[in-house]
Amino acid sequence: MTSTALHSWFGPYQPYESGHSPERVAEMLGEAMRISPGGQFPLAAEPVVVPRESYRSLLDATARLLELHRVAVANLAPDTAGRMTALKADPALFPRFTADEAFELGHATDVARADVMIGADGPRFLEFNVGASVGCMAQFERLRRAWRDLASEAGKPVLTGTDLYAPLAEVLKRSCKELGVGPEVLLIDTSDDLQTTSAYVDAQLGLLREHGVHARFTELRDLGRVEDLGNVLGVVQFSEGEAARFGWDISPLASAMGAGLTAVPSQTARLLDTKKVLALLSEGLPWMTGDDRDLVRRFVPWSRVTGDRQVTWRGQAHDLPRLLLNRPELFVLKLAAGLYSDDVYFGATATDREWRQLVATATETEDYIAQELVEPLRPPMAVLLDESGRTETVRAKMVVSPFCVGGVATGCYVRFNTAATPGILSVHDGLMRGCLLGEPS
């Protein structure tokens, strides 16, 4: 495929020349993705390579927007109870708050992943997933290293992208010192989560140990068997929302915390995770500076918490329910506490009856946000079909996911399919994976 001009954020498309045979690329990438459940293929046969300025600006926006999430939640009320009330959060999904406000706010942004679509006017942050259960971290890091190693073998410049586990290791080491625990770190998850394969766990442990973290893993159900809980730092890698939805018993975590376990990220991370926070930032909060508002205006699609109320959209006042009913093709409804891509509804693809019911439910409960639809650019992407190295080039509808760990943004993981219509990216619709990196330094 010849060079194709796209939005300047992507830069002109040129197929990435790895300097290796397709079979060798397939071997390296297949090994990198071996830790994922299901098959490794199909997956991207090339990284998404963007100009360094685009790469830097995306990571900068990620870190700044995450910090705005933290400040927004902190300013909702002077204490946790008030913040819960302000966000109408279900107390059953937040069982492990501590009385230490400094800890709660200080460890709310230890780990996060944003989901971003690149539209005609650049990146748009659709949501933030906050907490150590965000997923895909090890997959990204292994893909980044695979492309680094392929470039080195071929004598090519290495693409711009930093080790995701270096800042994570620093966060954990710093937390151990600050909280007076460790140095041992205990990853806590459950194999009831189909994403938590033994290969994924081993990969995480290996990556952390490379950076000097004394890490081990325990099943949630086995947490009570761990000795000397007061001298380890627990890293909670599942969300209470997942546990409630799938019926996981999380009482061992409560018992362990009662026995002295310190667990990060803090429970307040899950408050930052609610989509209502992004909607509040989009609407504007009294404490926001002009720079804050400019940042949100540039990078966040128009979003509002649902309810029977007036809003300003494109410079004009509207009744929000009526706006959603009159222009369904322009909006998405999202359950504020929704998991994965569940509970996300597109007016463009819903029937009239479905959309009316959704708008009525969202208005009555005030548990949703309405977000203006982002129409993504669809850049060319070479795809590896199988381990033989067979490839084809598609137009990729992608979500780019930068990570932010301890205030340091890096990435980015990429999920994509070939759909030409609005909708979520799911494994049921031909989901493929890859990574986005910057041009060489």
Residue 228 has pLDDT above 80, yes or no: yes
Q: How far apart are CA 436 and CA 47, in angstroms?
A: 6
Three-state DSSP class for residue 75: helix
Give the tokens for residue 347.
């007016």
242-287 pLDDT, tens per residue? 898 889 999 999 999 999 999 999 999 999 999 999 999 999 999 9
pLDDT at position 107 is 97
CB 261 within 8 A of CB 230: yes
The rounded percent of the chain whose pLDDT value lies above 90 is: 87
Residue with tokens 């080790």: 163
Residue 1 has pLDDT above 60, yes or no: no
Of the candidates 163, 153, 151, 138, the one whose C-alpha atom is nearest the C-alpha of residue 31 is 138
pLDDT at position 75 is 98
pLDDT at position 300 is 98
Q: How far apart are CA 285 and CA 204, in angstroms?
A: 38
Which band of pLDDT confidence, cut at 50, 70 and 90, is reported for residue 425? Answer: confident
Residue 196 has pLDDT above 90, yes or no: no
Q: What angle do CA 17, 22, 24 make, to 5 degrees?
A: 105
Of the candidates 276, 187, 270, 184, the one whose C-alpha atom is nearest the C-alpha of residue 228 is 184
pLDDT at position 342 is 77
Say if residue 315 is exposed, middle or buried (CB neighbours under 10 Å; 0-12, 13-18, 19+): exposed
pLDDT at position 3 is 40
Residue with tokens 């992943």: 113
Three-state DSSP class for residue 203: helix
Which band of pLDDT confidence, cut at 50, 70 and 90, is reported for residue 7? Answer: low
Least confident of 83-92, 202-211, 335-344: 335-344
pLDDT at position 245 is 87
Residue range 409-418: mean pLDDT, rounded: 95
Domains and CATH numbers, the chain: 163-264 (3.40.50.1400), 302-372 (3.30.1490)
Q: Average per-residue pLDDT in the chain?
A: 94
pLDDT at position 2 is 37
17-74 pLDDT, tens per residue? 999 999 999 999 999 999 988 778 999 999 999 999 999 999 999 999 999 999 999 9
Residue 111 has pLDDT above 90, yes or no: yes
Residue range 299-309: mean pLDDT, rounded: 98
Which run of H or E residues covers position 305?
strand 303-305
pLDDT at position 21 is 96
CA 411 to chain centre: 11
Q: How far apart are CA 101 and CA 106, in angstroms?
A: 8
335-347 pLDDT, tens per residue? 999 887 779 999 9
pLDDT at position 97 is 95
The rounded percent of the chain whose pLDDT value lies above 70 is: 98
